[in-house]
Amino acid sequence: MFESAEIGHKISKAEFREQEPDLRERLIDAQSALRELGKFPLLIIIGGVDGAGKGETVNLLNEWMDPRHIVTRAFGEATDEESQRPPMWRFWRALPPKGKTGILFGSWYTQPILDRVMRNTRPADLIASIEEIRHFEQMLVDEGALVLKFWFHLSKKAQEKRLNDLHDDPKTRWRVTDKDWEHFKNYNRFRSVSEQMLRETSTGNAPWFIVEGADANYRHLTVGHHIISALEGRMAKPRVLPSVAAAPRSPPLDQRNVLNVLDYSASLSKSDYRRQLEKYQGELSGLTRSKSFRKRSLVVVFEGNDAAGKGGAIRRVTAALDARFYRIIPIAAPTAEELAQPYLWRFWHQLPGHGQVTIFDRSWYGRVLVERVEGYCSEADWMRAYHEINDFEEQLVRNDVTLVKFWLAITPEEQLKRFTEREQTSFKNYKITEDDWRNRDKWADYEHAVCDMVERSSTNKASWTLLSANDKRYARIQVLKTLCERLEQDQ
Amino acid sequence: MFESAEIGHKISKAEFREQEPDLRERLIDAQSALRELGKFPLLIIIGGVDGAGKGETVNLLNEWMDPRHIVTRAFGEATDEESQRPPMWRFWRALPPKGKTGILFGSWYTQPILDRVMRNTRPADLIASIEEIRHFEQMLVDEGALVLKFWFHLSKKAQEKRLNDLHDDPKTRWRVTDKDWEHFKNYNRFRSVSEQMLRETSTGNAPWFIVEGADANYRHLTVGHHIISALEGRMAKPRVLPSVAAAPRSPPLDQRNVLNVLDYSASLSKSDYRRQLEKYQGELSGLTRSKSFRKRSLVVVFEGNDAAGKGGAIRRVTAALDARFYRIIPIAAPTAEELAQPYLWRFWHQLPGHGQVTIFDRSWYGRVLVERVEGYCSEADWMRAYHEINDFEEQLVRNDVTLVKFWLAITPEEQLKRFTEREQTSFKNYKITEDDWRNRDKWADYEHAVCDMVERSSTNKASWTLLSANDKRYARIQVLKTLCERLEQDQ
């Protein structure tokens, strides 16, 4: 794989000078066009061996292009903020919005490669990382990003020479660290692990470009040419999205489903409710103040029919929590900033740190519910969303998050009663809109979408709790009880 | 994930009888249309818990449809033939050609799930299996297949009841084996492992349909309806293939590449040649007759410029081998039978068993060489081929195959000399065709394709050996020597 980057590629100074002005102009032009178009981001990932000139070329790119529209990010040790969240969180924060360019200097590739080189992980772990990366990049590409990945390579001899040269010159000695020499000792392992990683993650959608790093002129021009040709190519012909090969399932033939088999007569007397409310709120309060929770987080998703009582249930939860440590995120139509990013971005953005709680009033499931039913996204988009959501939730659960997902279900009759009541009660009037009535007309479509959602996203570790909410008291107690149980399990 | 298959779905006998005739007719019609169209195969995979009625429904499908155009295959213990080859070999052999229907009863899912349930493998191994399956199915879909996967589920209670019922009836007692009860003891683990497997492999292109198995009428009709709606849907609208997001690399800016840096002056005197020929042929003969080779296989790929001397080199290799144990596969344009299958199919078909050698005179690399350059396949096709080929070769190497890949390189001048000589020598005349001259005109395109190929498919375990073949004697000895070295390494 690296053969072609070990044959001494070289561009003379004269040729470099001759080619540079034209390349710069085309880069600047393409960058403006990208910005004006505003349809997709350009994401450039730079990796490779130490001393292969990554920094130099990144700096030159910033010089060649308009740096105001480039976000260059390097990643060192994780900050406190970062280490309390799934490893991918820092990278989600660094994604460029549509129309902009992001240069990631070090990336999601760095840690899995080093971990395997240093034998902190096993071969199968590397494969798992590779697949996570493939899924993640596929998602970026499906969401529109143009992803270009450059690997700067040096042969073993060339790396040794480069490190020695840098070290011998007093002006550059500071650039060679002990870590660099330690990595060099592992050159062969590094080469072999990187090779597997690159090979497996070099897809048609996000291919690696391997660049010999020894000669700066060759390296700069090669990277510049790849960027410009990919960018011009992408702008010249619009992307074609694949069709979904197999149709999604139709509703069950016998009309039974997980929603209509719920027991909608379940209810609780006022006194039972008061007693249990106190009990479970007390428990919840204790659990979220416990020592073990200081190393964990809680994410709660509330979904449900319109007027199912999400707001009321959420208030019964937060009453038990310390206001400094929770946040409620009501999900409405996305903002312009949010629309310029992959759809999961705004949810990643809101992930709690340790000891904290985030409550989503509606959530990422909008993709497979309202967006599916109302046709706000294509069939291919919502079909792939199940998998993307599962990947997302798996990362949460694997990284010390207790994730609880509620669907509050009411019957059509109960909803009608509540809608009418809302219309007739002046202080509840704001709660009922045209949209609510319109959604109600699509009851069957939503029901079908909810059942598909449960089937495709209820997992052992992130199961859906489907609750009959015809009786609000019953539903609220179930919510509190479930939260306590799940927190206890994860303690 | 299984919630909706544990709620007691049921279809009455009367309703079943009412629906069946129409469903049958539509299935038969769609099956004929599929055959007449001849554009893609229908692949149905049936999995699930024991006793959930898999056999019953498969039999009924064969009754409903025209069984002459269905290939139903079940998979038990591996045969001798199968156990000497990569695990996927048996499944490749069972793939239906375009226009036909294949029903796989048990499949590539069975072993990874059971291995994990029985704790023969670790969690990371399961993830690796999942990803292999995803790649494989993606390839099938990219090659055109309509893949439908059904998982027949029973709740724990329902499975216990079903097994007891079968056991209590003397007529069906034989159907309940000790293995079934042993699996039942592991019900919870089986459920949780299957859930992960299904969730991760349920993609937009090849989704799982989970079917509650307890009621036969519901199960039959549900499967029938899914098949017919997917099949009719696919025939109603042609598949849209995605565009490639990022352009493939252009040739290096400085025109240096792995081919033109080879030393084309390398040569061998006649006497040196004779001496070394004898030496290495002797070694090779010994290595392929050794005890350790009885548990291994050898696959050799010969690619190279036209007139580079592949045939001559192959003859020097086979002279050292026992004719009973090797096969030479010359790769020409695919036959009709081969065209009805994914493009790697014909190569899988030819894999050697233990103690055997297969020599490919040209190979699967045709996809990224001639098919790319001549435009016989789309850019998306050959871009994905690198990855598919790497997956394929990895399976070989992981399963006791020594894989050696040669590129015999000659210079344009040397080729011209040989072409002219062939034209002027009557008994070599057949060796030179119009095609050869045409290919020669595209020298630069081929060179670029070869360099991309080496960059993207030369791996630690399946590296390319690039040989200067301007001197035939030198090249032949290098071939023999490399084979000996690689066989020795793997011993």
Question: What pLDDT, on the 0 to 100 scale, is given for residue B247?
Answer: 57
Give the lowest-confidence range in A262-276, B229-243, B252-266, B446-460.
B229-243
Give the lowest-confidence range in A97-101, A370-374, B217-221, B458-462.
B458-462
ipTM of the complex: 0.83
Mean predicted confidence (pLDDT) in B61-88: 89
pLDDT surpassing 60 at residue A286:
yes
pLDDT surpassing 90 at residue A236:
no
pLDDT surpassing 70 at residue B198:
yes
Minimal-distance CA residue of chain B relative to A149: B246
Nearest to A46 by CA among A25, A61, A32, A65: A61
pLDDT surpassing 90 at residue B434:
no
Whether B92 and B392 have beta carbons less than 8 Å apart is answered as no
pLDDT level of residue B323 (50, 70, 90 thresholds): confident
Question: What pLDDT, on the 0 to 100 scale, is given for residue B309?
Answer: 94
pLDDT surpassing 70 at residue B254:
yes
Q: Which of B4, B131, B196 sits opposite A455 (nearest CB)?
A: B4
pLDDT level of residue A393 (50, 70, 90 thresholds): very high
pLDDT level of residue B205 (50, 70, 90 thresholds): confident
Question: What pLDDT, on the 0 to 100 scale, is given for residue A162?
Answer: 86
Q: Which of A222, A233, A252 sits opposite B9 (nearest CB)?
A: A252
For residue A396, give how far its alpha carbon lies from the nearest alpha carbon of chain B (Å). 16
Per-chain mean pLDDT for chain A:
91
pLDDT surpassing 60 at residue A357:
yes
Question: What pLDDT, on the 0 to 100 scale, is given for residue A245?
Answer: 62
Mean predicted confidence (pLDDT) in B455-476: 92
Give the lowest-confidence range in A154-163, B145-154, B171-180.
B171-180
Mean predicted confidence (pLDDT) in B78-104: 93
User: Which of residues A193 and B162 earns the better pLDDT score?
Assistant: A193
A50-83 confidence digits (pLDDT tens): 888 999 999 999 999 988 889 899 888 888 889 9
B8-36 confidence digits (pLDDT tens): 999 999 999 999 999 999 999 999 999 99
Question: What pLDDT, on the 0 to 100 scale, is given for residue A378?
Answer: 87
pLDDT level of residue B246 (50, 70, 90 thresholds): low
Note whether A246 contacts B222, CB cutoff 8 Å. Answer: no
- Choose the mutation target among B2, B6, B7, B452 for the interface with A, i.e. most A CBs under 10 Å: B7
Considering only CB atoms, which chain B residues are within 8 Å of A42?
none
Note whether B230 contacts A209, CB cutoff 8 Å. Answer: no
Q: Is A138 on the interface with B (CB under 8 A)?
A: no
Q: Is B118 on the interface with A (CB under 8 A)?
A: no
Note whether B240 contacts A237, CB cutoff 8 Å. Answer: no
Note whether A246 contacts B207, CB cutoff 8 Å. Answer: yes
Considering only CB atoms, which chain A residues are within 8 Å of B221?
253
Note whether B4 contacts A386, CB cutoff 8 Å. Answer: no
Considering only CB atoms, which chain A residues are within 8 Å of B11?
253-254
Note whether B202 contacts A229, CB cutoff 8 Å. Answer: no
Question: What pLDDT, on the 0 to 100 scale, is given for residue B248?
Answer: 60
Considering only CB atoms, which chain A residues are within 8 Å of B137?
none
Note whether B200 contacts A390, CB cutoff 8 Å. Answer: yes
B362-389 confidence digits (pLDDT tens): 999 999 999 999 999 888 889 889 989 9
